[in-house]
Amino acid sequence: MNQNKNSTNDNQLNEHDLINGCIRNDVHCQQLLYEKYSPKMMGVSLRYCNSKMEAEDVLQDAFIKIFDKIKTFKGEGSFEGWIRKVVVFTALKSNDKRVNKFEPGDIDNVQEPSLDSKAVSNMETAYLMNILQELPVGYKTVFNLYAVEGYSHKEIGKMLGVTDVTSRTQYSRAKQYLLKILAKHGIKRI
Partner 1 sequence: MSNEIENIFKQKFENFESAPSAGLFDKIQAARAKKKRIVIWMWSSAALLLFSLGLGYAVLSTSSDSKLAEDNTIEKEQNTELITSEEQIFPVIENDKLPPSANESADPKEEVQSSKTKSKTTGGANSFVSQKEKKRQSSIDDTVLPQAENRTVNEELAKLYQKIHDANKNADPKKAKIFTRNGESEVDLSAINLANLTKRNIPEIKTPITNIDSTNVAQIDRPQDGDKADINLPIGRLVRLSRWSIEASAAGGFGSRILSGPTDYVTMRNTTESVKFSTAYNLNVLYRINTKWSAQTGVSLVNRRENLSYTSADQITYMQREETRTETIIHPVLGEIEREYTVTVTDSSVQKGNQTNQTNTYLSASIPLVLERGLYEGEKWSLMTKIGVLAG
Contact (Cβ atoms closer than 8 angstroms) between residue 70 and residue 22: yes
> How far apart, in whole angstroms, are the C-alpha atoms of residue 157 and residue 4?
51
Q: Is 147 in the site for partner 1 (CB under 8 A)?
A: yes
Angle between helices 153-160 and 164-184 (to 10 degrees): 100
In SS3 terms, 16-45 reads as HHHHHHHHCCCHHHHHHHHHHHHHHHHHHH
Answer yes or no whether residue 117 interacts with partner 1 by CB under 8 A: yes
- Considering only 113, 158, 166, 183, the residue that binds partner 1 (CB under 8 A) is 113
Question: Residue 57, Cβ neighbours under 10 Å: how many?
Answer: 16
Biggest CA-to-CA distance, the chain: 69
> Quick one: which segment of 4-12, 71-79, 142-150, 162-170 binds partner 1 (CB under 8 A)?
142-150
SS (H, E, C) 115-172: CCHHHHHHCCHHHHHHHHHCCCHHHHHHHHHHHHHCCCHHHHHHHHCCCHHHHHHHHH
# binding residues, partner 1 (CB under 8 A): 54
Tell me: does residue 107 bind partner 1 (CB under 8 A). no
Give the shortest CB-59-to-partner 1 separation in angstroms: 6
Which window, 41-49, 69-77, 102-110, 152-160, contacts partner 1 (CB under 8 A)?
Answer: 41-49
Q: Which span sits near partner 1 by CB under 8 A: 27-35, 69-77, 97-105, 162-170?
A: 27-35
Single out the segment in contact with partner 1 by CB under 8 A; choices: 92-100, 102-110, 121-129, 161-169: 121-129
Tell me: does residue 146 bind partner 1 (CB under 8 A): yes
The verdict on 64 binding partner 1 (CB under 8 A) reads: yes
Residue 145 interacts with partner 1 (CB under 8 A): yes or no:
no
Q: CA–CA separation, 12 vs 188, rounded Å?
A: 47
Give the type of residue at 23: I
**Shortest CB 150 distance to partner 1, Å:** 7
Q: Which residues are at the interface with partner 1 (CB under 8 A)?
A: 25, 27, 30-31, 34-35, 38-40, 42-43, 46-47, 51-53, 55-56, 59-60, 63-64, 67-68, 112-122, 125-130, 132, 143, 146-148, 150, 175, 178-179, 185-186, 188, 190
